[in-house]
Amino acid sequence: MLRVVVLGAAAGGGVPQWNCGCAVCRKARGEHPELQSTQASIAVSADGAHWFLVNASPDLRQQLIATPQLHPRAGRLRHSPIAGVILTNGEIDAVAGLLSMREGSPFTIYAHAKVLAILKANSIFNVLGENNVRRQPIEVDRPFELRLPDGSESGIEILPFTVPGKRAWYLEGKAHPGGGDGTGDTLGLRIEDRTTGKYCYFLAACAEVTDALKARLSGAPLVFFDGTVWRDDEMISAGLGAKTGQSMGHIAMSGDQGAIASLAGLDIDRKIFLHINNSNPALLRGSKERSIAEGAGWQIPADGTEIVL
Ligand SMILES: [Zn+2]
């Protein structure tokens, strides 16, 4: 069985964001605490005992406290069920949580060479000593099996693939420590239980749904997909910032070229939005946008949602 726990569903900043007074953030602080959401990450396991994180968000500590599956096993003085972390990009909301995993437990970081170069260029990540925390490069279109700390097989195979996207925003206009073009800066993942053949896709950032991506996702049992903004210009029109979704490498939920329209009719069993920005009105239950998304078969998950395939 492939188990997936949504540790967090929000985009960078979370809900509420520390410095934001938008309608969603105000409600999340006040009469609607159920709107609160931590920054996007999932945990996956094939055996229920060993878990792998997809991205390590700045909210990781809070997410681990809230997730019993990820607590140290009873009777062990030092232990973590987390055997590894797969990074899909080098954004702060994908890597900052690594710094909360610095107390000496062994695990493996799986990431594209571009993202590993970012970690290497930032010496603060040296707190994760390479004798305990292996850094394993992964390659686009090359499947690999996740390993447990003792080297044995986890039963989970990952296929990383390139997704239209952007480099981390703090690297915009700067030399990338990993050099080269944009390849490897944004990955999607196909995550498969090798015993059962069940699988899901994880795309927390995606700037465009190409025909090739449609073909890939067609017929999937479960897809987690970029739900950052409802409308491309919503942050500008709400007065929250100058960036469009596209300029941040994120497709909108709505519109002819949006995620809802693009992924319609692909025979995907379960579609879940992740990485949802606090400006997105689809977060609000009862909103017109929420009912359009749900009416099209999409789910906006609460943190802690567990799915078993
Ligand atoms: Zn807000």
Q: For each of the chain's 309 residues, which pLDDT tens digit applies?
A: 999 999 999 999 999 999 999 999 999 999 999 999 999 999 999 999 999 999 999 999 999 999 999 999 999 999 999 999 999 999 999 999 999 999 889 999 999 999 999 999 999 999 999 889 999 999 999 999 999 989 999 999 999 999 987 766 666 667 777 776 666 678 999 999 999 999 999 999 999 999 999 999 999 999 999 999 998 888 878 777 878 778 778 899 999 999 999 999 999 999 999 999 999 999 999 999 999 999 999 999 999 999 999
Q: How far is the CA of 16 from the centre of ligand 1 (A)?
A: 6
Give the integer Cα–Cα distance in Å for 90 and 100.
Answer: 16
Q: How far is the CA of 57 from the centre of ligand 1 (A)?
A: 18
CB-based contact 227:202 (threshold 8 Å) = no
Strand, coil or helix: 181: coil
Specify the pLDDT at position 168. 66
Neighbours of 144 (CB within 10 A): 16
Q: How far is the CA of 241 from the centre of ligand 1 (A)?
A: 11
End-to-end CA distance of the chain: 6
Specify the pLDDT at position 124. 95
Strand, coil or helix: 8: strand
Residue type, 287: S
Output the CA–CA distances (angstroms, integers) from residue 277 to 24, 38, 104, 181, 300, in the order listed.
10, 11, 33, 27, 12
Specify the pLDDT at position 169. 63
Q: How far is the CA of 13 from the centre of ligand 1 (A)?
A: 9
Q: How far is the CA of 253 from the centre of ligand 1 (A)?
A: 18
Neighbours of 162 (CB within 10 A): 17
Specify the pLDDT at position 291. 97
Output the CA–CA distances (angstroms, integers) from residue 195 to 281, 295, 308, in the order listed.
40, 34, 14
**Percent of residues in the chain assigned helix, strand, coil, to nearest 5:** 25, 25, 50
- Kindly state the DSSP code that residue 197 receives in the 8-state scheme: -
Indicate if the alpha-carbon torsion angle 254, 257, 260, 265 is positive or negative: positive
Report residue 186 CA to chain centroid gap.
11
Q: How far is the CA of 279 from the centre of ligand 1 (A)?
A: 5
Give the integer Cα–Cα distance in Å for 145 and 193.
Answer: 10
Specify the pLDDT at position 243. 81
Neighbours of 290 (CB within 10 A): 18
Q: How far is the CA of 204 from the centre of ligand 1 (A)?
A: 19
Strand, coil or helix: 171: helix
CB within 8 Å of 196: residues ≥ 6 apart: 1, 2, 309
Q: How far is the CA of 28 from the centre of ligand 1 (A)?
A: 9
Q: How far is the CA of 27 from the centre of ligand 1 (A)?
A: 9
Q: How far is the CA of 33 from the centre of ligand 1 (A)?
A: 14
Q: How far is the CA of 29 from the centre of ligand 1 (A)?
A: 10
pTM over the 0.75 mark: yes
CB within 8 Å of 145: residues ≥ 6 apart: 153, 154, 155, 156, 157, 158, 194
